[in-house]
Every structure is written in C-alpha cells, then in structure tokens.
Structure 1
C-alpha cells in the first residue's frame, strides 16, 4: 500500500499542474479581455459590430486565415521534428497547441521548449529543444528580413521621430548580436552539456534543403497573418493601399518582436508599437487597437483554448510510446 503512495502522489501533482495551467490560461485571457486599460471590451465589441465584422462571410474568412496560419506552424513542426521521430499531423497539432497553452505565463514563450520536449524520450529531449529553437529562429529570421525592408520604406516614406525607447531597443538588439557573435567566435557558450560549436555543427548537418523548407513554411505563415492583419484593418474602415499597409505591418512586427515580454501581454506590446507606427500614417487609435486585440484573440487566445484540451489529456507514458 505504501509503495503505491509515491506514484499516486506524483499523479496527483501532475493533474494539479495541468489544471493550474488551464485555469491560469483561461483566467488571464479573461482578464486581458475585460481589464484592458487601452480598450474596453464593450467598446471593442461595439466597434466591431458597427463595422459589420460579425457577418458570416467575414467570420469564416478570418477563421480560415487563423486555421491556415496554425496549419502552417503545425506542418513546420511536424517537418522539423521528423529528423528525430516521424509523427502524425494530429500529434504535431497536440504538441504545438499544448505547448502554446503551457507557455502562456513564460517570458517570450520560453515554456514552449520544455512543453514540446516532454512529449519525447529523455534521450531525444536536447535535440527537441534545439529543433524548437530552430523553428522559432526561422520565423524570427523572416520577421527580421521583411521588417528590415519595411523599416527602410517606412523611413523613406514617412516623417519619423525616433523615440528614446526605440533607439534603446535597437541598441540592446545590436549589443546582444555583438555579444553573441563574440561568444560564438570564442566558443564560450554552453547548452546543457553541448558547446555552441557542437550546436552549430548540428544545425549545419541538418542540410540546406531541410532548413530551406522550414524557412519557406515560415514565409508562408508570415504572409498569412500579415494579410489577416491588413484584412481586419480594411474591415474596420482603415483606408490604406496594400503596399503602404505592408510597410507599416512588417515594421510593427519587427519592432514588437525585439521587446521581451510574456506571451500573454503580447497584445499590449503590439498595441503600443502599432499605435506609434500607424500613427505615422494618421490612423486613429480605435481601429488599430481593435485589430491588434482581434488578431490576438484569433491567433493566440483561441488556439490556447483548444490547446487546453491537449494539456488536460496529456499523459507522459502515452506520449513516449
């Protein structure tokens, strides 16, 4: 009887952790909707209704774009993890959405790394961590490339009064890049028993075609959620040429991505950056804040709700089969 107690205790705490993650996720999403200092939820709903965003056609288009966005992310993860283990699309969906929910409380979604690794045997977990990092770096590379192009045209086409906060963010990013480069050159960084040199060798051995296809999926995903942002703006009455809108959107995503934050507050970070960027084009605050919040609901909050199902049904032994 006593010998079975530790196992039951572990099971109890494991269930408690899963429930805490899900309850916490729902609570914080609820708080974000009802206690947003920048945009009252009632004003948000009223503004959407005024612009007829709740029509069946618009809802279907927005949901299709969000589903396609996550379809590409799940497909990318399934492809990348195939280097370690071939998994089904359903398994990739469980890992991606479950990790999203589990990472809701963590800075820059760092909890995603551990959440995905736990689905695999201990012998593979270090490589799973690396592949998760590669997946995120591929997406970040696309954000930097298109964002840099966007910033170039933004600087060329708009009068920009660069604030101290933006200069500080750029300086921090440059410092981190320089520090990382020097660390790579001197091989000072370690990662759980792996030297950075070994990590880089592992990445090189993945092959150009492998990384290239992952990058291509990242580009497609970026194109989808960028277009979705533009589509919502157009529904909310923002009159912008597509090219001009893409300049602002790509610049916004780049500047927002270099600011460390908890995923839960991503809507706040993007909202403040979006207000500054779109303010250069004379766009009012309400449609911008409404667009950012709706994008957050469609591509973060809603998938997190679905991910909570996978968190609650997660079984360590079953995941290792």
Structure 2
C-alpha cells in the first residue's frame, strides 16, 4: 500500500511539474504577444493611424519593396544563426535548425527583460545543467563581439557626424567622459579578473581560464560575422531612408545610423522601451539632416517589426514546442 501511495504521489508531482512548465511557456508567449500588440497599437510616440498613413503614402507596402526588406532581415538572422553555430563549434556541433530554435526562442523569452538579459537563461535551458555555464559564457562572447563592432563603427560614425554637421556636441568633453568611463571599466575588469572569488558558484578563475582557452580563430570569424551582420541591418536602415524620400549620400547617412546605434546600445533599457529609446535618439540625430520626426519614427518601427517582431513571432512556436527531453547533452 505504501508503495502504491509513493507511486501516485510521484505521478502527481510529475504531472504538476508538467502543467506548471506548460503554464510558464504559455505565459511567455502571451507576454510576448501582448508586448508586440502594445508596441504597434498603443505606441505613445507613433500612433498606428499615422504609421499606416506614412507607409501608404510612401508605397512601402509594395510587394517588391517588402520582399527585399524581408530578404535583408532573413540574411541578418541567418548570419546570427551561423555565428551561434560557429561559437559553439569548439565544444559541440549543432544544426542550423537547433541554432534557429535557440536564437529565436530565446529572443521571444527575453523581450520583456532588461537589455534582453533573459536571453542568457533562455539559451541555457536548451542544454543539460552541466553545460549551462558554458552557454552563458559563449552567449556573452557573442554579444560582446556585436557590441564591439557597434562601438568601433559607431565612434567613427560619430566623429564623421560631428565633422559634417553643426552640432552642440563638445568633443573635448566627450573625450574626457569617455576616458574616465574606460578607466573605471578597466579598473573593474582588472579587479574581477585578478580576483579569485565566486558569484553564485561560478569561479572567476574558471571563467578566466575558459576565455583564455577559447579559440582565437573562432573569435576572429565571429567578429567578421558580426561586422557582416552590422553591414546588413545598417544598409536596411539606409534603404528605408530612400523609400521614405530621405535622400542622403551613403556615407553621410551611415554616419548618422552608426551614431544612433552606438548611443542606443550604451543606454540600459528594457526591450519594452528599446524602440522608444532608439526612436528618440534617431529623431534627434536625423533632425540635423532635416528628416521629419514621424518619418524617422516610422523607419525605426519598420526596422523593429522586421528584425524583432517577426522573429519573435516565429520564436513563439519554438517556446511552445520546447521540451525537457529535447535538451542537448553536455
């Protein structure tokens, strides 16, 4: 009798965990869908009726234009999938399908988290517990590579922007603030790397050893893919400028776009307000070239829809179909 009771209790516990797990997956998807709905329909900076009118006036719904934009977004995400495969290769091989599931599923799960930090935990869930720390570290490298490209090109673009337009930006003050920031971050980095303490059972010494052993060739290729991805989505933004009748010389436009992505990337934000921040920054910068506020906000919205909304909707499918049994062995 005791054995039967134990089996029943175990079965109920297992079923309860399954129901809870399903509830969490459904909650993540509903939260993502609600966020997307709010972003499009109840946007305080750009009303949906204004957005629709601007798209209609500029013939942005033509099949040819939309197809080309979707191709650029597909290339953008394919590069990200290849990069994720590449960075994982020294430890394990995953298929393009698995890379797609992990990247898009984690994108959906991280929509409402600050600076998409939820992506780290979401990607780690696709692997056995013993390998999750490696996934978090690899994802950190992945994001740092993209941020490095954004920073390098952004600084060049910002300098070009300053030289090309009459801006109130004081380069001397900016240099001083940047130097102070670099020194502070360098000190913090040195303190962490030279220390030997643990954070939630993660030893800094082990992390340091992991980063030192990471193949340098893989990092170079990863940087190259990050650069290629940056070229794709920045050109996509430039193409949208042409569609919306903002005709600028290519390098002049890229200097503004690069400055926008740089400034937006260093401002901490929740993804819920990410579009608002990018929109505000882009409106301010493109005002120097005489671009209308609603046009710039519309372009930012289209970029968000193409590169975040559509991939997130696809990611909803992967979140709902995620199973513990599908975890990749360490």
Q: TM-score, normalised by structure 2?
A: 0.91
1:151 aligns with 2:182: no
Q: Which runs of 5+ in 2 are unaligned?
A: 1-7
Q: What is the root-mean-square deviation of aligned Cα atoms in Å?
A: 2.1
Q: Are residues 1:199 and 2:233 paired?
A: no
2:235 maps to 1:227:
yes
1:113 equivalent in alignment to 2:131 = no
Q: Provide the residue aligned with 2:110 in structure 1.
A: 103
Which 5+ residue runs of structure 1 have no aligned equivalent?
none
SS in 2 for 1:280: helix
In structure 2, which of residues 73, 87, 92 is the aligned counterpart of residue 85 of structure 1? 92
* CA apart distance, 1:159: 1.7
The aligned length equals 319
Task: Pick one of 18, 34, 47 that aligns with 2:54.
Answer: 47
Deviations 1:134-191 (A, max 9, x none): 000000000000001011111211122249xx97996995475244334246426644
Contact 2:193 2:204 in 1 (8 A): no
Bigger radius of gyration among the two: 2
Q: Which whole-Å CA distance do the structure 1 matches of 2:76 and 2:326 have between them?
A: 28
Shifted more, 186-195 versus 289-298: the winner is: 186-195
Does the aligned pair in 1 maintain the 2:90–2:215 contact within 8 Å?
no
Q: Which residue of 2 aligns with 1:33?
A: 40
Q: What CA distance in whole angstroms lies between the structure 2 residues aligned with 1:240 and 1:270?
A: 20
Rounded Cα–Cα distance in structure 1 between residues aligned with 2:181 and 2:196: 20
Aligned to 1:13: 20
Provide the C-alpha distance between the structure 2 equivalents of 1:255 and 1:36, rounded to a whole number of angstroms. 22
Who is 1:283 aligned against?
291
Query: What is the CA deviation profile of residues 44-84 of structure 1, one whole-angstrom value per residue up to 9, with x for unaligned ones?
Result: 11101110111111010000000000000011011111222
Inter-partner Cα distance in structure 1 for 2:46 and 2:179: 31
Moved more, 191-200 or 118-127: 191-200
1:71 matched to 2:86? The reply is: no
Distance 1:60-1:238 versus aligned 2 partners, 3 A rule: same
Alignment CA distance shift 1:285-1:171 (3 Å):
farther
Q: Deviations over 1:85-139 (max 9, x none)?
A: 2110000000000000000111011100011011111111101100000000000
1:297 aligns to what SS in structure 2? helix
Deviation at 1:239, TM superposition (A): 1.2
Partner of 2:5: none
